[in-house]
Structure 1
Amino acid sequence: MIRVLLVDDHAMLRAGFRAILCTQPDIEVVGEAATGAEGVELAARLQPDVITMDVQMPDMDGIEATRRIVADPAVTAAVAIVTTFDRDEYLFHALDAGAGGFLLKNAGPEELITAVRALAAGDGILAPEVTRRVLSRFCATPVAEAQERTTPARAHVLAEPLTDRESEVLALMADARSNAEIARGLFIGEATVKTHVSRVLQKLGARDRVQAIVLAHRHGLTR
């Protein structure tokens, strides 16, 4: 069962999210918070698997709440920023704070459900509207750096070199494939994929799949 915490200062929107998510047999909404500070407190107390987080809230905004939740070693929840405002500052500050997903509130019910399941499975999720901007912002490389992209230059981002299989998994992660899709593409089990993904994140020093993909593109580790 995927345990979800809803953090938003609009009660009607929380009720809508709850109604959507509770139609799914594998998802349970375990709590609601109306402020960022309350979200931080409930994240530690309820230990959800996924948190949907608004940005603009009283007493503490969703970016700062996300930062505190991600920094707490006792909390393992993945955080998805869900906002009305399609602004670059919200997007990039959310990713810097450690959010594993970024969705817009005009997304359909299926997109919300898919995002919750993806985050619970350890996948990152970005709204289609913002994916190109993320890659443009984080993956742009100065010409001088691009000219130095030899194998040794790439290697400095890695704690140790990726194996051939890990490189294949990273390439498929960068193509926004889920663990199940990677498993089918490489003809291996999902448990094996999870092991490879964990090793890739560890070697890259990435906190989640979204950051791993950004680092991979930025440092020329994948196309």
Structure 2
Amino acid sequence: MSTQPIKVLIVEDEPLIAKRYQMILGKDEELECVGSASSGYEGTMLAALNKPDIVLMDVELEDKEAGLRATAEILSYMPEIKVVMLTVCETDDTVFRAFELGAVNYLLKNMPADAIVEAVKDAYYDRSSLHSNIAGKIRREFKRIRKTEDSLLHNFYIITQLTPTELEVLELLMKDYTRQEICQLRHVEQSTLKSQINSILKKFGKASVQEIVPVLRELHIPEILAQRKGKLGVE
């Protein structure tokens, strides 16, 4: 264990909450509060000046994302610092973004004093101590991303199995052309188009175009196909 106290910087815009953290840290001889900031900008400056081991960073400071921006700035220039995020309301998106930036933990502001002290020490000694609620959010977000990636790969694989004619028809459907308009553009009969669409549906394993198009749009398939066409055109 280090003979020097763990240096902690508090970045919190509510004076009473900042004071509470200072009192909590002051009661533990292993911890030392080296500064308190009330904005993301001030927190970044004090981090550079005081070189804390740990930063307790409020998410919402001068605006709703100031804490996230300050975290990104601090870790960009001082990656050795450990950042523990503080909030009153943890949303899945904000929690995940904080960890993407490099934060090591995420605490609710109303957590008891011993939980705050434990989180600071765990961060310093690289011990995992995610609150169960936060850990659950991270698992859900990774699961969502994995599901999206799998869906993207799955659907793009099916697209590679389409004939050039079927791909052209699908692209027109994704652009909201009606069946009549597609027949006119491609100079085909309704029966021919119906057969082509049925073939597309069979390959996707779906019963209607409405089950395919919204999913492909959400996965940005039209943009991917457009980029691919552009590259092929250049070549």
Please tell me the TM-score bracket, short chain as reference: 0.5 to 0.7
What is the Cα deviation at residue 126 of structure 1?
Answer: 2.2
- Shift of the 32–129 alpha-carbon distance from structure 1 to 2, 3 Å rule, reads same
Is 1:61 aligned with 2:66?
A: yes
**2 CA distance for matches of 1:101 and 1:143?**
25
Selected match of 1:33 from 34, 37, 43: 37
**1 CA distance for matches of 2:81 and 2:19?**
21
User: What RMSD in Å do the two structures reach over aligned CA positions?
Assistant: 2.1
Q: Structure 2 matches for 1:104-115, cutoff 5 A?
A: 104-115=108-119
Going by fraction, where is helix more abundant, 1 or 2? 2
- Shift of the 70–125 alpha-carbon distance from structure 1 to 2, 3 Å rule, reads farther
Q: How big is each residue's C-alpha offset from its partner over 1:91-140, in whole Å with a ceiling of 9 and x where there is no partner?
A: 11111111111111121111100000001112344222221121121145
**2 CA distance for matches of 1:13 and 1:106?**
9
Is 1:98 aligned with 2:98?
A: no
- Shift of the 108–12 alpha-carbon distance from structure 1 to 2, 3 Å rule, reads same
Count, aligned residues: 145
**2 CA distance for matches of 1:143 and 1:89?**
15
Is 1:122 aligned with 2:122?
A: no
What is the Cα deviation at residue 36 of structure 1?
Answer: 0.3
User: TM-score under structure 2 normalisation?
Assistant: 0.57
- Shift of the 49–142 alpha-carbon distance from structure 1 to 2, 3 Å rule, reads same
Q: How big is each residue's C-alpha offset from its partner over 1:64-88, in whole Å with a ceiling of 9 and x where there is no partner?
A: 000111111x452100001101212
What is the Cα deviation at residue 144 of structure 1?
Answer: 9.0
What is the Cα deviation at residue 32 of structure 1?
Answer: 0.4
Amino acid at match of 1:56: E
User: TM-score under structure 1 normalisation?
Assistant: 0.60
- Tell me if the contact between 1:82 and 1:105 (Cα under 8 Å) persists in the aligned partners: yes
Q: Structure 2 matches for 1:158-197, cutoff 5 A?
A: none
Q: Structure 2 matches for 1:131-146, cutoff 5 A?
A: 131-139=135-143, 141-142=146-147
Tell me, which stretches of 5 or more residues in structure 1 are unaligned? 146-223
**2 CA distance for matches of 1:61 and 1:142?**
30
Q: How big is each residue's C-alpha offset from its partner over 1:1-49, in whole Å with a ceiling of 9 and x where there is no partner?
A: 1000000111111100010111101000010000001111111110000
**1 CA distance for matches of 2:129 and 2:56?**
12
- Tell me if the contact between 1:44 and 1:75 (Cα under 8 Å) persists in the aligned partners: no
Q: Structure 2 matches for 1:190-209, cutoff 5 A?
A: none
- Shift of the 96–75 alpha-carbon distance from structure 1 to 2, 3 Å rule, reads closer
Structure of greater Rg: 2
Tell me, which stretches of 5 or more residues in structure 2 are unaligned? 151-235
Amino acid at match of 1:65: A
Q: Which has the higher contact order (CA 8 A, sep 6+)?
A: 1
Match of 1:50 in 2: 54
- Shift of the 48–143 alpha-carbon distance from structure 1 to 2, 3 Å rule, reads closer
- Tell me if the contact between 2:92 and 2:141 (Cα under 8 Å) persists in the aligned partners: no
- Shift of the 124–62 alpha-carbon distance from structure 1 to 2, 3 Å rule, reads farther
- Shift of the 108–44 alpha-carbon distance from structure 1 to 2, 3 Å rule, reads same
Match of 2:176 in 1: none
Selected match of 2:75 from 61, 70, 79: 70
**1 CA distance for matches of 2:45 and 2:148?**
45
